[in-house]
Amino acid sequence: MNEIIDQLQELSETVPVPLELPTFEQIVEVEEQILIGLPNDLKEYLLYASDVIYGTLEPVTVADPYSHTYLPEVTSYAWSIGMPRDQIAICQVGESFYCINEEGEVQFWEDGDFSEEGWESLWDWIEDVWLEQ
């Protein structure tokens, strides 16, 4: 995990207005808003690497409630178009979503269904999908 975080930080693009990392309290607020506990991998990602900007994928964030990547808003929208409520959106791609369940397993949800491909952890998804784009 630490190696992946280091790799993300090295690849992160410099932008005029950088993203901020959240506090633990902000993560707790997000859990209260969506009424689901975030898996540990997602919490660690949010605390230590959610300020990374890399490639075309934009994973969720929690530090800025006005961001288009704000986890409660992205997840609420995904739920409103049919994504199961036991899933938490981690990245929106058009009208499709990479999502994670409370056990930390990541899947791709599109057109009302899950793809056959899945990842055992958020870190596997980051390596196989985000870093490989």
**pLDDT tens by residue, the chain, 133 residues:** 789 999 999 989 988 888 999 999 999 999 999 999 999 999 999 999 999 999 999 999 999 999 999 999 999 999 999 999 999 999 999 999 999 999 999 999 999 999 999 999 999 999 999 999 8
Distances (CA, A) of 12 to 5, 6, 19, 51, 62: 10, 10, 11, 8, 18
Place of tokens 């994928």: 57
C-alpha count within 13 angstroms, C-beta hemisphere, residue 29: 12
pTM over 0.85? The answer is yes
